[in-house]
Structure 1
Amino acid sequence: MPTFYKLLLSSLVAAGALTMCMTRSELQLPDPIVMRSVSGVEGVELRHTGFDRPGAGPFQPLFGLDDALRASYPFVLHRDKVYRRAGPGSFVVQPRGDVRAHYVVEEHADRSEDRPDRITSLSIREHDSHELLGLRYLRARQDEAGRGRVGDDATAFVRKILRTAAPAGGRLDEPPYGAAPVTHTPLRAGRIDPPVDGGDGCPPTYEIGMAASPRQFDAGAWSFRPWSDVDSFACTGNFILVASGDGARMLLDLLDPTGKHLFQTEVAMPLDARAEATVQRLRVNGERLQVDVHYRPGKLPDGKPSPRQRFRLVISMAPPEADPPAAALAVK
């Protein structure tokens, strides 16, 4: 049987099975269909059809943008944006322009308002030939809060069909930024908190995109989306430092004015996670990054407010030295 008719038959069988299942009181979804898998996938395009506008209604995708980013492809196209991976858990967001993806992941809504189940179909196709590579139906009951599990299952299915390198760290909620060597020097804290609505040393057009979730750094022509809300940013010369995370685990990303991602590290601080931080006085000299961090009061272990604090961080951006070859170790 020609391949085209095989694909058509599989789609019709799955659709017929779903229609029969809908007539039963207890819905039983058809098994996932895997036609073939591909390896070395660089990027995918995510599409949603038949859903309410985001935030405008109750019927939203079960495999959303966050799930597609969790799959850890080098880039994801969604609507008019391209999300390029920039280290574990973070992305540089730019206009898609003429960027194209070889594969399309499309979730279609089944809009039946008289049932307690929300059902969608997730198809994976080759962009140019429209060849169907895989199909899976997703379900989330309206009275359940299990969307995360549905999204995880869908992500695993997509990665089974469109194979790429394993996600760095495997988890989007706690990416391994790595910890570069750093020294902390306490400084005298100011009497007032620094402003957080602009970046120290940055152009006035730079801002934090408060409407995005998580909050993003917005440079106008592009934006930067870390895994956690952006708290502050600072600039010097041709460098931008974006701070996210929390008071106990600060995440720092260094970019240039074009959106090129240069460096990423986390800094552990002996402070309460609820302490809010603002980066100031950024300096970059060769492979050394220096920045002052002002902490607004968090809570002490006894529950009392902690005083304002300020530290100077000096971070080495030099790559770690490689271990000597085993043969060299054997020579005495």
Structure 2
Amino acid sequence: MPTPYKLLLAAIVAAGLLSLCTFESRLQLPAPVVMRSVHGVDGFEVRHVGFAGAGAEGLQPRFGLDNALQAGTPFVLYGDRIYRRAGPGGFIVRPRGDARARYLVEEHADRPNSHSGNITSLSISDIERRELLGRKFLRNSPADVGKDGLGQQALGFVRTVLVAPAPGLGVAGPSSGAAPATQAPLRPGRIDPPVEGGDGCPPNYSIDRLRRPLQFDAGAWAFRARADARSFACTANFIVVDSGNGARLQLDLLDANSTHLFQTWVALPFDEDATVTVERLRVNGQRLQIDVHRHPGKLPDGKPSARQRLRLVISMAPPEVAPPSTQPGGNGTDPAPESAASD
């Protein structure tokens, strides 16, 4: 056969193969099916089936733990742990033990080697009634994952089927805001405290660096904030965990029994890249006294920065609600100011 004909035949074959691949990659997935929606769901379990190791051929679950924690339910079971909501954006993490959930969200790696873009299926079941509540197929190609916003399509489907008692309280929800606070400079020490903090805490308290975001680990339980836990400090039965940065502390107050008590953020006069440690904690009634240490480093202009220390006094008292009207002749008595916390 002459060479031009061979080239033409090869081109035709290549075009045919390309058209087949293109046709398969554009196959429409079945529409999502919702058999029944359930309201007031207190929690569910997440399982992944068929994702070998780090994922078959790079295939990763579309509906992961981060997505599940945004569903708004009071708890989520995942692997050998249970995640219970604790304050805005936070979760207390414990071994699951005998905990069970009535509802199961299961993602299967149905076609990890398919030319059609790696399809997974998400099924939601009522285990108690042995009933399938809904199913959705997801294309898992890199382009689709990028457009998906880290599983937002899957999350939206789960929220449609399993409706939480108070939707919108996921890890992306708002924090408690900024409580009234004052700042005063202190004389910096000659040495730096550990970057992770821990002043006044038992020796088994630490930052768990094997999980993301980094969690505060108290041994029997852990606290997962919205972002990486940076440092912590303790006094008596109280623990404060910082998950902010050099320009803004994000503070969560807990007790030794894992009860979440208070959350606030505080703007600091440092740059975001500054290394800041929560060095010391005192609790005096409705006020927190927190000493903050800025480690030496470099300023944004490249010049060296010295150690700095600040004392924060934060009011935990709820904001006073103004009366509907002020009647003349009232006693005009204000509550006595609270005594300052001792150093």
Question: How many residue pairs end up in the alignment?
Answer: 307
RMSD: 2.5
Q: Which moved more, 1:243-252 or 1:113-122?
A: 113-122
Q: Percent identity?
A: 60
Structure 2 equivalent of residue 196 of structure 1: 195
Secondary structure at the residue paired with 1:146?
Answer: helix
CA contact (8 A) 1:116 1:142 kept: no
Structure 2 equivalent of residue 175 of structure 1: 174
Secondary structure at the residue paired with 2:40?
Answer: coil
Secondary structure at the residue paired with 1:230?
Answer: coil
Structure 1 position 149, deviation (Å): 2.0
- The separation in 1 between residues aligned to 2:130 and 2:152, in whole angstroms, is 25
- Aligned pairs (5 A) from 1:26-175: 26-54=26-54, 58-115=58-115, 117-142=117-142, 146=146, 148-149=148-149, 151-164=151-164, 165-168=166-169, 172=172, 175=174
CA contact (8 A) 1:140 1:150 kept: no
Return closer, same or farther for 1:112/1:302 CA change in 2, 3 Å cut-off.
closer
Alignment deviations for residues 52-84 of structure 1 (CA, whole Å, 9 cap, x no partner): 235897222111000001122111111111101
Structure 1 position 120, deviation (Å): 0.8
Structure 1 position 308, deviation (Å): 2.2
Structure 2 equivalent of residue 10 of structure 1: none
Return closer, same or farther for 1:302/1:148 CA change in 2, 3 Å cut-off.
farther
CA contact (8 A) 2:196 2:277 kept: no
Secondary structure at the residue paired with 1:329?
Answer: coil
Secondary structure at the residue paired with 2:140?
Answer: strand
Give the TM-score of the pair, scaled to structure 1. 0.85
Alignment deviations for residues 258-293 of structure 1 (CA, whole Å, 9 cap, x no partner): 211111111111221111211122111211111100
Secondary structure at the residue paired with 2:118?
Answer: strand
In the alignment, structure 1 segments of 5+ residues that lack a partner are: 1-20
Paired AA for residue 275 in structure 2: E
Structure 1 position 193, deviation (Å): 2.1
CA contact (8 A) 2:196 2:230 kept: no
In the alignment, structure 2 segments of 5+ residues that lack a partner are: 1-20, 329-343
- Aligned pairs (5 A) from 1:145-294: 146=146, 148-149=148-149, 151-164=151-164, 165-168=166-169, 172=172, 175-197=174-196, 199-294=198-293
Secondary structure at the residue paired with 2:149?
Answer: helix
Paired AA for residue 166 in structure 1: P
- The separation in 2 between residues aligned to 1:233 and 1:150, in whole angstroms, is 30
